[in-house]
């Protein structure tokens, strides 16, 4: 079952990439939620994370759904509702570990954590009839764009990252531990600036004193480079969803697609690993928001 899940998800991402499409950017151009960018939500309002975000974003586009809410057949039944006849569920995964105690050769018992993954099906609420009305209600208009951008400024500033502006290149320099960004005014739109900054700050989290992420990159364009770029891509997409920003495909995506395809075709677990690393990076950056609030409260 686990092997089938890895392969099914990887095949979907590969199929999109071979068409020149980025699964994690498709919702932005599809009028999803009438322009409101949001992560898929469980029936209780909690957001999905990691690989499940990509899987359900893709399912949202394919199904043409406007609602972000998803639930299992059983959860729908608990609300007194029912999945419409003929509707097909969409795969999500649950990852956890079990602890097993084993006796070693020397007679000492040792606990070992064994990771496991299982898949199950969920349905968008638009596939379900009889749910409470709030599941079908359209969201309130999102906050004013100017306020949203201000919020993005505050979010990224809270990281304390050394962000320098100037030149025409956006990149993270590990040697000097700084993010280099072109001036704000040189971008096509404010959203393009913040999406690029989110991408580079995801790279910034890989530093040994932060998340210490290393895929063994030796040179530009090798497998380690491609894996890190994929993490940064997904991290930026997750952060943009969290901040209600609308990213655009970058001009360099075409160059990366072939290297991403190579990685995914050779390792069906690669997209799961990239999504997990991207989620950790996004969570790490969100952690600075908590620290800033606590510091403000203490003052």
Please say if the pLDDT value at position 282 is more than 80.
Answer: yes
Here the tokens at position 56 are 């359900």
Can you tell me the mean pLDDT for 140-158? Answer: 75
Q: What is the mean pLDDT of the chain?
A: 84
Please say if the pLDDT value at position 224 is more than 50.
Answer: yes
CB 133, CB 111: distance < 8 Å: no
Q: For residues 154 and 157, what is the distance between their CA atoms, to the nearest angstrom?
A: 5
Q: What is the pLDDT of residues 162-204, one digit of tens each?
A: 999 887 788 999 999 999 998 888 887 888 889 999 999 999 9
Please say if the pLDDT value at position 3 is more than 70.
Answer: no
pLDDT of residue 1: 44
Please say if the pLDDT value at position 254 is more than 80.
Answer: no
H/E element, 231: helix 223-242
| pTM to 2 decimal places | 0.79
pLDDT level of residue 221 (50, 70, 90 thresholds): confident
Greater confidence (141 vs 194) lies with: 194
Q: For residues 275 and 281, what is the distance between their CA atoms, to the nearest angstrom?
A: 10
CB 82, CB 128: distance < 8 Å: yes
pLDDT of residue 88: 93
Can you tell me the mean pLDDT for 245-273? Answer: 83
pLDDT of residue 207: 97
pLDDT of residue 295: 61
pLDDT level of residue 89 (50, 70, 90 thresholds): very high
pLDDT of residue 36: 55
pLDDT of residue 261: 92
pLDDT level of residue 30 (50, 70, 90 thresholds): very low
Q: Which residues of 33-63 are buried (b: 16+ CB within 10 A; e: fewer)?
A: beebbbbbbbbeeeebbbbbbbbbbbbbbeb
pLDDT of residue 140: 57
pLDDT level of residue 147 (50, 70, 90 thresholds): low
Please say if the pLDDT value at position 272 is more than 90.
Answer: yes
Please say if the pLDDT value at position 120 is more than 60.
Answer: yes
pLDDT of residue 244: 84
- Segments making up each domain of the chain, as ranges: 142-298
Greater confidence (255 vs 113) lies with: 113
């Amino acid at each position: 079952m686990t092997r089938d899940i890895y392969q099914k998800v990887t095949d979907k991402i590969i199929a999109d990439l071979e068409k020149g499409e980025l699964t994690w950017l498709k919702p932005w151009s599809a009028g999803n939620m009438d322009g409101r960018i949001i992560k898929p939500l469980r029936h209780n309002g909690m957001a999905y994370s990691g690989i499940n975000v990509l899987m359900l974003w893709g399912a949202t586009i394919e199904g043409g759904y406007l609602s972000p809410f998803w639930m299992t057949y059983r959860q729908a039944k608990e609300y007194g509702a029912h999945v419409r006849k003929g509707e097909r569920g969409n795969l999500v995964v649950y990852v956890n570990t079990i602890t097993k105690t084993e006796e070693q050769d020397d007679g000492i018992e040792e606990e070992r954590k064994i990771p496991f993954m299982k898949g199950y099906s969920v349905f968008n609420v638009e596939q379900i009839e009889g749910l409470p009305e709030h599941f079908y209600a359209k969201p309130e208009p999102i906050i004013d764009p100017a306020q949203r951008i201000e919020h993005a400024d505050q979010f990224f500033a809270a990281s304390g990252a050394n962000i320098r502006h100037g030149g025409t290149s956006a990149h993270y320099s590990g040697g000097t531990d700084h993010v280099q960004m072109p001036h704000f005014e040189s971008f096509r739109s404010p959203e393009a600036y913040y999406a690029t900054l989110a991408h580079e700050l995801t790279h910034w989290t890989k530093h040994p004193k932060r998340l210490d992420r290393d895929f063994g990159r030796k040179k530009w364009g090798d497998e380690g480079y491609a894996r890190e770029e994929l993490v940064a891509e997904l991290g930026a997409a997750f952060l943009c969803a969290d901040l209600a920003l609308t990213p655009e495909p970058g001009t360099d995506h075409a160059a990366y697609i072939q290297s991403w395809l190579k990685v995914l075709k050779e390792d069906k677990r690669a997209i799961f690993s990239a999504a997990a690393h991207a989620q950790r990076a996004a969570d790490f950056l969100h952690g600075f928001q908590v620290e800033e609030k606590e510091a403000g409260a203490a003052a």
